[in-house]
Structure formats: structure tokens, C-alpha cells
Amino acid sequence: MRWLWFALGWLMLALGAIGALLPVMPTTIFLILAVACFARSSPTFERRLLAHPRYGPALRLWREQGAVTRKGKCFASAGMALGFALFCWGAHPSLTLLLAVGAGFAASAAYVLSRPAPRARPLGSSALD
């Protein structure tokens, strides 16, 4: 079973890397899933993701507090809005598909926006404490 979690971790990491390059695909959610998979299969890769200079702080914040920064909420919402606009423009969906995809984006945005803001850390503590 451990190899399955490891493979899923790499799949999520690959999807996150693709998301970092494409404006309409998310990154952080796939990295959160990758950390969860690696926690069950490879503590080394889990630590490497949590210590990553760019994505580590957001991943640790999610793990420790279930929180999303205001900047993260703005980028996620803007990305979903852009993705929906590009979907409408490029796919010319039927009304049913348009409403279904719109409802999915709206539910996802509502979830992200409903996450708490990060709590302030006491002075002198680090994000790795």
C-alpha cells in the first residue's frame, strides 16, 4: 500500500508542477495532496515539500491551521474566475455544462474563501516550530 501512496504523491506533485506553469490549473491543492500522500509513504519527500522555499510556508500553514492567506485566496479566486472565463470562451459549452462547471467553480471558491486567515505567530517562533 505504501508504494501506492508514493505513486499518488508523485502524480499530485506532477499535477502541481503543471499547475505552476499553466494559469488555469491549480498548484497548491495538488501540493497539499502530495504532502498528504508522502506523509503515508516517504517522510523524506514530505519534509522536502514542507521545507520548499516557495510552497513550503503555504503547505505548513494549511497543515498546522487549515488556513489560507488573503493573497492565496485572491490568487485562487482570480485563477478560478480566469479558468471559467477561458472555459466559456474556448469550449462554447451548453447551458447545462456551463451551469455545472460554474457551480463547481463557485463551490470551490466558496470553500477557499471560507478558510480562516492565518493566526499570528508569537514573536521569536519560526514556521518550522
Confidence band (pLDDT; 50, 70, 90) for 129? very low
Domain limits, the chain: 1-65, 70-114
What's the rounded mean pLDDT across residues 96-112? 94
Confidence band (pLDDT; 50, 70, 90) for 79? confident
Closest alpha carbon to 114 in 59, 76, 60, 64: 76
Contact between 76 and 109 (Cβ < 8 Å): yes
Supply the pLDDT for residue 110: 95
Supply the pLDDT for residue 117: 94
Confidence band (pLDDT; 50, 70, 90) for 125? low
Nine-digit cell string for 51: 521545507
Degrees to nearest 5, angle at CA 45 with 118 and 119: 5
* Distance of alpha carbon 38 from alpha carbon 32, whole angstroms: 10
**pLDDT per residue as tens digits for the range 24-33:** 788 889 999 9
Query: Mean pLDDT of all residues in the chain?
Result: 91
Is the pLDDT at 14 greater than 90? The verdict is: yes
* Burial of 112 from C-beta contacts in 10 A (0-12 / 13-18 / 19+): buried
